[in-house]
Chains A and B, each alone.
Chain A
Amino acid sequence: MMKLETNRSLAEELKALGGDAYKCYQCGTCTGDCPVAWLNSEFNPRKLVLFASFGIAEPLKSDIPWLCATCYKCTTRCPRDVKPSEVLSAMRKLAIRDRLAEDKEGAKFIKAFADIVKENGELSETKLVLKLKGLLGSTKMLPLSVAWTMLRKGKISLIEKKSPSAEEVKRIFELAGGGNGRKA
């Protein structure tokens, strides 16, 4: 079995970013009620909270924290008010700040999402899909017949359009910095 390094300052850093893993008594309510854990046993919020409380860095470099669907069921039902969804959000925030997961689908998704909003003021769903998956990948996600129907019904738009908010939004991004305050 792989030996895992614990790190008190990482645990503190995660706590400062959201949730409170220290309060957890490992009852597993979060995992038992998680719609993602029902389908993917690799995704185990109870274990992730335990790792967070010891400051174990492994999950931050993995795909796992990005599989949270942010449905907040765990946070609503946790008897210790740990807010597991916030603990996972803290892991993602740190992974973004320290560029620990840049090759992971979840991190790429967030980066692409932010880039489009920064540019357009609002999200263009079509642009997001094309940016992340490319043309070929997009057709694998959405059969051409469905994509064509959506285009015909005006649900997909290939015309680039900016929101009237675009300029101010770009300024907001520049003022607040890049990923978690890192220089943009």
Chain B
Amino acid sequence: MVEKLRYAYFPGCSSKSSSIEYHISTKNVAEALGIELIELVEANCCGTHAIEDYNEKVWLSLNARNLSLAEKLGLDMVTICSSCFLNTKKANKMIRESSEAKEEANEILSKVGKAYNGKVEVKHILEVFVKDYGLSNLREKVKRELEIRVAPYYGCQILRPPEITNFDNPEHPETFEKLIEALNCEVASFPEKIDCCGAPLTLIDQKLHHEMVKKILNGAKKVKADCIATLCPLCHYALDSNQLVLNFEPKIPVLHVTQLVGLAIGLSKEKLALEKNLVQPTSIILSTSLNPGE
């Protein structure tokens, strides 16, 4: 019997609003797999590059504060957002490698009754599925034949910069493909899988952002994917909502990684909050009723 997997869970801001279905499906999939997620309800925004540019000291302290919450529980942290993943990992690395950064963060934390000693590992949910839970265990849980071609979209911040994310080969990543294969789906690999959707530019230059999104959607269309799977709420929102905004046709459903895993292990469309996706994965939803999985 393997030891039960337990994590401090940091969903991030976007997964609690525009990508609420990511948060819901994560909790239900973890429960179904027997992974315990203890949500850090007191967590704050990771700040992303916006607050890093605004004031690096604030950015470092915000991330140290989140890490201190996980450290207090004695658990590693799991995030479902690539931006939270990168920012928390970057701050963690700074604190672990520079006594100056550690002191600077703790000086501020001490004034809000917190401390961080650098003991937490930060993981993305994809790593939890593939590395910690393990693909062979996951294969045993697969109950539904999905028979779909899935285009794995990595985006940027889970891959780069590699010395911080330490995730996979930044040019030719394969982790997501391995997961998709373990779920008995076909991989529709496309060269745009490591390109940027431009989500940070949404409010700065929307036209430019739209062009970046179109490149990725067209890439997935070219390889005849039945759906795109994403690892980040911001990538998901960019690829999902903009198909409506830009009247992109034919529509390609975009699933969060947790929705894909949940479908394969036989969870209901309600548990995966599929009705909240903007491009409705109609054929996939239909297959959940025709093929309940249990």
In contact, B196 and A154 (Cβ under 8 angstroms): no
A152-184 contacts to B, CB under 8 A, are 153-157, 163-165, 168-169, 171-173, 175-181
Contact with A along B42-57 (1 / 0, CB 8 A): 1111011111111111
User: Contact partner of A128 among B41, B58, B203, CB < 8 A?
Assistant: B203
Tell me the minimal C-beta distance from A50 to chain B in angstroms: 21
User: Contact partner of A149 among B206, B212, B278, CB < 8 A?
Assistant: B278
In contact, B13 and A122 (Cβ under 8 angstroms): yes
In contact, B55 and A178 (Cβ under 8 angstroms): yes
User: Contact partner of A123 among B41, B45, B113, B245, CB < 8 A?
Assistant: B45
A54 contacts the other chain (Cβ, under 8 Å)? no
User: Contact partner of A176 among B44, B108, B170, CB < 8 A?
Assistant: B108
In contact, A72 and B50 (Cβ under 8 angstroms): no
Q: In whole angstroms, how far apart are the Cα atoms of A163 and B204 in the complex?
A: 26
Task: Say whether, besides A105-B204, A155-B20, A164-B42, A179 and B55 are in contact (CB < 8 Å).
Answer: yes
Interface residue tally for chain B (C-beta within 8 Å): 62
Interface residue tally for chain A (C-beta within 8 Å): 63
In contact, B54 and A180 (Cβ under 8 angstroms): yes
In contact, A106 and B61 (Cβ under 8 angstroms): no
Instruction: Name, among A35, A111, A154, A164, the residue most crowded by chain B CB atoms within 10 Å (CB to CB).
Output: A35
B208 contacts the other chain (Cβ, under 8 Å)? yes
Instruction: Name, among B18, B162, B170, the residue most crowded by chain A CB atoms within 10 Å (CB to CB).
Output: B18
Task: Say whether, besides A66-B204, A110-B50, A39 and B160 are in contact (CB < 8 Å).
Answer: no
A61 contacts the other chain (Cβ, under 8 Å)? no
Return the chain A residue nearest B202 by Cβ. A141
Q: Find chain B residues with CB under 8 A from A164 CB.
A: 41-42
Could you list some 9 contacts between A and B, CB below 8 A? A35-B215, A69-B212, A76-B159, A105-B204, A109-B50, A110-B51, A142-B245, A165-B43, A173-B58
